[in-house]
Structure 1
């Protein structure tokens, strides 16, 4: 065999060995890769299909992902945010919560009689008077009687009344009150709080479900630390429940009772405050009263200044007497001196 043939045969054997080694390495790597993939796939499948909680967690918390009678889910310990309740548009019109307010300004003949009528009407319609005021439209007393006068002899009165009546009797009460005089002004406002009420109710239901679940946790607690933690959470949830429940009841009370505010006024009195009807017109009456006021003022000024006037009169007469005495003395002295001046001339 030639030398070239021997070298070719050696190279061929080395090439075959290298190919075999590479093939063996590829096979080993492929098997290892498949095993790793199977291992990873099996782990993920096991983790995703497992619905049991960690064995290391306390038993009292292992049921946290379970619902409470279909109300709460695995997030049952989270409070529902505001506005996540049912849509208020689905609530029937008869069940909607609407707060009504009415304002009336009525001119009546006598405020006192109108107030009595309003009281009777409020009682008739199961209403409640929450505030009432009576005042005059000036600084004068409310009533100024003459010898045989009536309350109408006083200055015009003003009345302010606030009444709350059941919503179903609101219209009847307003109609009855409007008939006691002349309505000068009226305004009505409504506030639909249905959506707010629905949202508060939904949040309240979720919190009550959360409270029930926490009580179950408390009964299943195994140590003092778990009991204290659950009791703290129960206190927080209970506080939120009481707050939301108060808001719900407030809205229901406001919608159940409508508010009517009534302003009463009297026309300007025809009979004068002193009970006398002059009959000559306002001009003559004003003139006489002006003259009487002027005389009254003059008398007051005279009486006030009388001590000073008396002192001034005494001083005046004293000074006058002194001046006259001096004048008379000068006259006498001048008369005595006149003969002495005329003697040499003779």
Structure 2
């Protein structure tokens, strides 16, 4: 009985090994240039980009395209509304939008920018790749182009390789299920089930990667930075900035005075001790000079008396 079970396990293992080898050969044959499968989007992935272009084998090319534009416009708020309308007309979506007045980005804005400061904005949209060129051309008409950049990432070969590997794994899964249904021994069923779980995990991971590539290639990303021209004078037109210059000068003088007072107060212990030492040294020097002057006067008075102590005849 034990020998029969061993023979059965070896036979099942050999059959499983041969199945895996045949599936691998089929997968490698499918990935060759002559038999390469056509690139098709996953369910819900949308149309592939670059529908009119093909690679060397006739398959549709998959290209992920990204565009960045900087436009100088008369009104940022009006330009944002126009970009929203264009995005809806091309069946796209706005993935990010920011409006700023000055240096801080805000999400809510007023028509005049609040304090009259020039507005700037940043809008990122996703549009179908088949209408990418038309959308960019229409957006460029909203203002003057100050900067633009574009990048393209061809993922055709990566998608083809992933698709071939996915088909190979699904073929292995189908073959393993056949072995599982034909298995009679519990130990064999557990081994096949473990292998099925591993293959199924790889299928789900690879399928998610393929769908992600298809979604990225089906929709192109366009980022538009909007800036307004800055006026030489204030929006009211009544001042050339003299008041601001005077205010800035007064603030600068106050800052210098503040720094000076800070330095004086901070170094007070040092110069206080210096003053005390100065007065002590000056008092000692004066005292010594007084003693020396008194001694000199006494010497001079003694030297002027006549011999014998009497008055000079």
Output the TM-score relative to the length of structure 1: 0.58
User: Separation in 2 of the partners of 1:140 and 1:255?
Assistant: 30
Alignment RMSD (CA, Å): 3.6
Q: 1:62 to 1:240 in 2, by over 3 A?
A: same
Report the 3-state secondary structure (helix = DSSP H, G, I; strand = E; otherwise coil) of the residue aligned with 2:237. Answer: coil
Q: How far off its partner does 1:260 sit?
A: 0.5
State whether structure 2 residue 78 is matched by structure 1 residue 126.
no
Report the 3-state secondary structure (helix = DSSP H, G, I; strand = E; otherwise coil) of the residue aligned with 1:105. Answer: strand
User: Is the 1:159–1:263 contact (alpha carbons within 8 Å) kept by the matching residues of 2?
Assistant: yes
What is the correspondence of 1:291-330 to structure 2 with a 5 Å cutoff? Answer: 291=246
Cα deviation, 1:277-333, whole Å, max 9, x if unaligned, reads 22xxxxx622244446778999xxxxxxxxxxxxxxxxxxxxxxxxxxxxxxxxxxx
The alignment of Structure 1 onto Structure 2 pairs a total of residues equal to: 230
Report the 3-state secondary structure (helix = DSSP H, G, I; strand = E; otherwise coil) of the residue aligned with 1:64. Answer: helix
Q: How far off its partner does 1:56 sit?
A: 2.3
Report the 3-state secondary structure (helix = DSSP H, G, I; strand = E; otherwise coil) of the residue aligned with 2:23. Answer: coil
Residue equivalent to 1:11 = none
User: Is the 1:122–1:129 contact (alpha carbons within 8 Å) kept by the matching residues of 2?
Assistant: yes
Structure 1: stretches of 5+ with no match in the other structure: 1-54, 279-283, 299-346
Residue equivalent to 2:23 = 76
Q: 1:62 to 1:220 in 2, by over 3 A?
A: farther
Q: How far off its partner does 1:143 sit?
A: 10
Q: 1:140 to 1:177 in 2, by over 3 A?
A: closer
Q: How far off its partner does 1:137 sit?
A: 3.2
Report the 3-state secondary structure (helix = DSSP H, G, I; strand = E; otherwise coil) of the residue aligned with 2:160. Answer: helix
User: Separation in 2 of the partners of 1:140 and 1:104?
Assistant: 19
Residue equivalent to 2:16 = 64
Report the 3-state secondary structure (helix = DSSP H, G, I; strand = E; otherwise coil) of the residue aligned with 1:99. Answer: strand
Residue equivalent to 1:38 = none
State whether structure 2 residue 37 is matched by structure 1 residue 86.
no
Q: How far off its partner does 1:110 sit?
A: 1.1
Residue equivalent to 1:336 = none
Q: 1:296 to 1:276 in 2, by over 3 A?
A: farther
Report the 3-state secondary structure (helix = DSSP H, G, I; strand = E; otherwise coil) of the residue aligned with 2:70. Answer: strand
Picking from 148, 155, 162, the partner of 2:124 is 162
Residue equivalent to 1:286 = 241
Residue equivalent to 2:213 = 251
Report the 3-state secondary structure (helix = DSSP H, G, I; strand = E; otherwise coil) of the residue aligned with 1:102. Answer: strand
Residue equivalent to 1:96 = 61
Q: How far off its partner does 1:57 sit?
A: 3.7
Report the 3-state secondary structure (helix = DSSP H, G, I; strand = E; otherwise coil) of the residue aligned with 2:16. Answer: coil
User: Separation in 2 of the partners of 1:297 and 1:144?
Assistant: 34
Q: Which has the larger radius of gyration?
A: 1
User: Is the 2:94–2:124 contact (alpha carbons within 8 Å) kept by the matching residues of 1?
Assistant: yes
Cα deviation, 1:184-216, whole Å, max 9, x if unaligned, reads 111111111111011001111110000000000
User: Is the 2:98–2:107 contact (alpha carbons within 8 Å) kept by the matching residues of 1?
Assistant: no
Report the 3-state secondary structure (helix = DSSP H, G, I; strand = E; otherwise coil) of the residue aligned with 1:183. Answer: strand
State whether structure 2 residue 241 is matched by structure 1 residue 276.
no
Q: 1:142 to 1:196 in 2, by over 3 A?
A: closer
Cα deviation, 1:72-122, whole Å, max 9, x if unaligned, reads 6x44379968x98234754426x1111111110111111111100000000
User: Is the 2:99–2:106 contact (alpha carbons within 8 Å) kept by the matching residues of 1?
Assistant: no
Report the 3-state secondary structure (helix = DSSP H, G, I; strand = E; otherwise coil) of the residue aligned with 1:56. Answer: helix
User: Separation in 1 of the partners of 2:245 and 2:161?
Assistant: 70
State whether structure 2 residue 180 is matched by structure 1 residue 229.
no
User: Is the 1:84–1:199 contact (alpha carbons within 8 Å) kept by the matching residues of 2?
Assistant: no
Residue equivalent to 2:170 = 208
Q: 1:110 to 1:84 in 2, by over 3 A?
A: same
What is the correspondence of 1:108-187 to structure 2 with a 5 Å cutoff? Answer: 108-138=73-103, 150-151=112-113, 154-187=116-149
What is the correspondence of 1:34-49 to structure 2 with a 5 Å cutoff? Answer: none
User: Separation in 2 of the partners of 1:237 and 1:78?
Assistant: 17
State whether structure 2 residue 201 is matched by structure 1 residue 239.
yes
User: Separation in 2 of the partners of 1:165 and 1:57?
Assistant: 58
Residue equivalent to 2:182 = 220
